[in-house]
Amino acid sequence: MSDFILRLQSAVTDVVIKTHPFAEIIYWGPHLSHFSSQDAACLTRPVANGRLDVDSPVTLMAELGHGLFGAPGIEGHRQGLDASPIFTTIKVEQNEQNLTIFSEDKHAGLRLCSEIQLDSSGVLNVRHGLTNLREQPWQVDRFAVTLPVAERAREVMAFHGRWIREFQPHRLILEHDSFVLENRRGRTSHEHFPAMITGSQTFSEMQGEVWGVHLGWSGNHRLRAEVKTDGRRYLQAEALYLPGEIALAEGETLWTPNLYGSYSAQGLNGMSQQFHRYLREQIIHFPDNKPRPVHLNTWEGIYFDHDPQYIMQMADEAAQLGVERFIIDDGWFKGRNDDWAALGDWYLDEKKYPNGLMPVIEHVKSLGMEFGIWVEPEMINPDSDLYRSHPDWVLAMPGYETLTGRHQYVLNLNIPQVFDYLLERMSWLLGEHLVDYVKWDMNRELVQPGYNGKAAADAQTRQFYRLLDTLVARFPHIEFESCASGGGRIDYEVLKRSHRFWASDNNDALERNIIQRGMSYFFPPEVMGSHIGNRYCHATFRQHSITFRGLTALFGHMGLEIDPVSADQQEREGYRKYTALHKQWRDVIHHGVQWRVDMPDATTLAHGVVSQDKCQAIFLVSQLAMPDYSLMAPLRISGLEPSARYQLTLLDHPNIQITGEGGHTMRKLPEWMTTSQTVSGEWLQQAGLSLPILDPESAILIGLQRV
Ligand code: DGJ
Is there a single domain that holds both residue 535 and residue 643? no
The last residue of one of the domains, among 591, 617, 646, is: 591
Q: How many domains does the chain have?
A: 3
Q: Exactly one of 82, 119, 330, 505 is catalytic; which is it?
A: 505
Atom 2 of ligand 1, residue of closest alpha carbon: 485
Substitution candidate for ligand 1 out of 483, 489, 531 with most atoms within 8 A of CB: 483
Is there a single domain that holds both residue 273 and residue 401? no
| Contact predicate 617/703, CB 8 Å | yes
Measured from the CA of 485, which atom of ligand 1 is nearest?
A: 3
288 within domain boundaries:
no
pLDDT of 664 above 80:
no
SS3 state of residue 178? strand
In the residue annotation, 441 being an active-site residue is answered as yes
Q: How many CB atoms lie within 10 A of CB 390?
A: 18
273 within domain boundaries:
yes
Measured from the CA of 329, which atom of ligand 1 is nearest?
A: 7
Substitution candidate for ligand 1 out of 485, 504, 530, 537 with most atoms within 8 A of CB: 485
Is there a single domain that holds both residue 427 and residue 340? yes
- In terms of Cα–Cα distance, which of 703, 375, 701, 387 is closest to 551? 701
In the residue annotation, 385 being an active-site residue is answered as no
Give residue 535's domain range: 295-591
142 within domain boundaries:
yes
Is there a single domain that holds both residue 481 and residue 574? yes
Is there a single domain that holds both residue 578 and residue 607? no
Q: How far is the CA of 657 from the centre of ligand 1 (A)?
A: 40
Is there a single domain that holds both residue 396 and residue 515? yes
| Contact predicate 372/451, CB 8 Å | no
pLDDT of 87 above 80:
yes
637 Cβ contact partners less than 8 Å away, ≥ 6 residues apart: 595, 597, 608, 610, 617, 619, 681, 684, 685, 688, 689, 704
Measured from the CA of 439, which atom of ligand 1 is nearest?
A: 7
pLDDT band at 91 (very low <50, low <70, confident <90, very high): very high
The last residue of one of the domains, among 228, 261, 283, is: 283
pLDDT at residue number 666: 81
Containing 461, the helix (H) or strand (E) segment is helix 457-474
562: domain CATH number is 3.20.20.70
Q: Which residues line ligand 1 (CB under 6 A)?
A: 299, 329-330, 374, 441, 443, 483, 485-486, 502, 505
Is there a single domain that holds both residue 262 and residue 373? no
pLDDT at residue number 1: 57
Substitution candidate for ligand 1 out of 505, 512, 538, 560 with most atoms within 8 A of CB: 505
pLDDT of 662 above 60:
no
Q: How far is the CA of 330 from the centre of ligand 1 (A)?
A: 7
535 within domain boundaries:
yes
Q: How far is the CA of 234 from the centre of ligand 1 (A)?
A: 38
Question: Partners of 246 in the beta sheet?
Answer: 140
290 within domain boundaries:
no
Q: How far is the CA of 381 from the centre of ligand 1 (A)?
A: 15
Give the mean pLDDT of 52-61.
97
Cβ-in-10-Å burial (0-12, 13-18, 19+) of 477 comes to exposed
d(CA 606, CA 600): 11
Q: How far is the CA of 525 from the centre of ligand 1 (A)?
A: 21
**pLDDT tens string 141-198:** 999 999 999 999 999 999 999 999 999 999 999 999 999 999 999 999 999 999 999 9
pLDDT at residue number 667: 81
- Mean predicted lDDT score pLDDT of the chain: 97
681: domain CATH number is 2.60.40.1180
* 3-state SS string for 553-622: HCCCEEEECCCCCCCCHHHHHHHHHHHHHHHHHHHHHHHCEEEEECCCCCCEEEEEEECCCCCEEEEEEE
Q: How far is the CA of 401 from the centre of ligand 1 (A)?
A: 26
Is there a single domain that holds both residue 142 and residue 115? yes
Is there a single domain that holds both residue 627 and residue 570? no
Per-position b or e across 645-664, b if 16+ CB within 10 A of its CB:
bbebbbbbbbebeeeeeeee
Triad 296, 299, 302: Cα angle to 5°: 100
| Contact predicate 443/405, CB 8 Å | yes
Atom 11 of ligand 1, residue of closest alpha carbon: 330
Is there a single domain that holds both residue 395 and residue 532? yes
pLDDT at residue number 201: 94
pTM of the model: 0.98
DSSP code at position 204:
-
Substitution candidate for ligand 1 out of 162, 303, 306, 329 with most atoms within 8 A of CB: 329
Q: How far is the CA of 529 from the centre of ligand 1 (A)?
A: 13
**pLDDT tens string 304-346:** 999 999 999 999 999 999 999 999 999 999 999 999 999 999 9
Is there a single domain that holds both residue 85 and residue 219? yes
For the chain, give the longest Cα–Cα distance: 84
Is there a single domain that holds both residue 585 and residue 604? no
d(CA 60, CA 144): 10
Q: How many CB atoms lie within 10 A of CB 687?
A: 11
| Cα 461 from chain centre | 17
pLDDT of 656 above 90:
no
289 within domain boundaries:
no
The last residue of one of the domains, among 545, 572, 591, is: 591
Measured from the CA of 483, which atom of ligand 1 is nearest?
A: 3
Atom 9 of ligand 1, residue of closest alpha carbon: 485
| Cα 628 from chain centre | 32
pLDDT band at 659 (very low <50, low <70, confident <90, very high): low
The single-letter code of the amino acid at 633 is A
Atom 6 of ligand 1, residue of closest alpha carbon: 299
249: domain CATH number is 2.70.98.60
Q: How far is the CA of 485 from the centre of ligand 1 (A)?
A: 6
Give the mean pLDDT of 2-22.
95
Q: How far is the CA of 377 from the centre of ligand 1 (A)?
A: 13
Atom 1 of ligand 1, residue of closest alpha carbon: 485
Q: Exactly one of 119, 329, 441, 491 is catalytic; which is it?
A: 441
d(CA 199, CA 164): 29
